[in-house]
Amino acid sequence: MPLSEFTPITLFNYVVMTLLGVLTLYQFVFYVVGLIRGEVSYPKAKKLHTYAFFIAAHNEEPVIANLVRSIRDQDYPAELIDIFVVADACTDNTAQAAREAGAIVYERNDLARKGKSWVMDFGFRRILEEYPGKHDGFFVFDADNLISRDYVSIMNDAFDQGYQAVTSYRNSKNFGSSWISAAYATWFIREARFLNNARMLCGTSCAVSGSGYLISADIVRGMQGWRFHTLTEDIQFSTFCAMHGIRIAYAPAEFFDEQPLTFKASWKQRMRWTKGFYQVFFTYGLGLVKSFAFFRRFAAYDLFVTVGPCTICSMLSMVANAVFLVVGTLSHGFLATASELDSCVVSLITMLVSSYLMFFAMGLVTVVVEHRHFHCPKRWRFFTNLFTFPLFMLTYIPINVAALFLKVDWVPTPHNVAMTLDDVVKEES
């Protein structure tokens, strides 16, 4: 298109699209690396380390015992694993169910400090005080999770290499429950194989996400608890590590997470995540830039792009086009010509279609490459998910806008899918 034919809004769109392409080009490289080089592996550990599993639980009676039992069923010496559950302001029998399954349970009723991060701070402090120096590392899990039988062994192999933090392969235990849960599962499996695995293979730092990660006891003791209290304490911790040159490793140890079933529940959860990303970006954004610019830490650049510019640029582009279209139409030719409005419509449609196709390709590659990790007896769900997964991702656009202006509080996500590990990986899946 000749420069003379560019309207202000099309020029703006091209600038934004070019900027996004330049910022995120490295993620395409990650995809190629993840495809060509396969999964990272580690030599067998020279030492069997001692670990504490930390589980925050709020009204998790239906699911907590299954997690505790899956931890106790590891192919790792049981005497080297302690399981701690903090029953946080529970009104059900979470504490009793956890104790009966074999966990050490602390009960907490601090209604002023809500959220997983405060539960972690409380629990870590108790463990450090009551079991000083006993544990080499702390696994962080949510009550709805399940872990594969070789989980600790694989994580121990990575931890034994000297890493201060290790994240793992996040799968879903309810892929087939709804189009929402299927989309979540696809995204997290994609994140494991084509982001964290590729990051590890490329020699940069990974990021922890939600649960299923291991932190050195040295870090926990240094903080005397937990010091990250945004709505997304996991990405805040990852950002802190990227800024200060602490490399987070990745190991292909698989765990299973329960995903929301309804769009309403998903909206609430992703609103919290998005608000938390904004909190981290506006708090640490400049520090990440300095870390990359002065210390050449690529992980800082990676986290900077992850928590801020892509989301903000995409959102601004969509909003700018929508506002231009509405205002231009209402002006009846005074502020925008018919051709400019047409180009705006074309730009909006092009962005939406290209985004849809990009997410479709992501989903397709993930399902094809990682098909053995998708567990679902409803075979038709694999096909329909390819088309609904991009729609799920596009709903982040209104979420990104709303999260900028709305107050978002931490709200627990209910978990009721009471499955065992054998239920998840059963033969007909």
Q: Tens digits of per-residue pLDDT, 51-85?
A: 999 999 999 999 999 999 999 999 999 999 999 99
Q: Nearest 5°: phi and psi at 66?
A: -65, -40
- Count of other CB atoms within 10 angstroms of residue 36: 9
Task: Find out whether 155 and 214 touch, Cβ atoms under 8 Å.
Answer: yes
Report the C-alpha gap between 132 and 185 in whole angstroms. 38
- pLDDT averaged over the chain? 90
Q: Tokens 């079933």, residue? A: 261
Q: Residue 5: which pLDDT band, with cuts at 50, 70 and 90? A: low
> At residue 401, does pLDDT exceed 90?
no
Q: Tokens 């120096």, residue? A: 133
Burial 363-396 (b: 16+ CB within 10 A, else e): bebbbebbeebbbbeeeebbeebbebbbebbeeb
> At residue 112, does pLDDT exceed 80?
yes
Q: What is the pLDDT of residues 349-397, one digit of tens each?
A: 888 898 899 999 999 999 999 999 998 888 889 899 999 999 999 999 8
CA nearest neighbour of 148 among 372, 429, 420: 420
Task: Find out whether 185 and 169 touch, Cβ atoms under 8 Å.
Answer: no
Residues forming beta bridges with residue 114, ordered by sequence position: none
Q: Inter-axis angle of helices 338-369 and 8-37, to 10 degrees?
A: 10
Q: Out of 101-105, 222-226, 382-386, 417-421, which region has the weakest mean confidence (pLDDT)?
A: 417-421
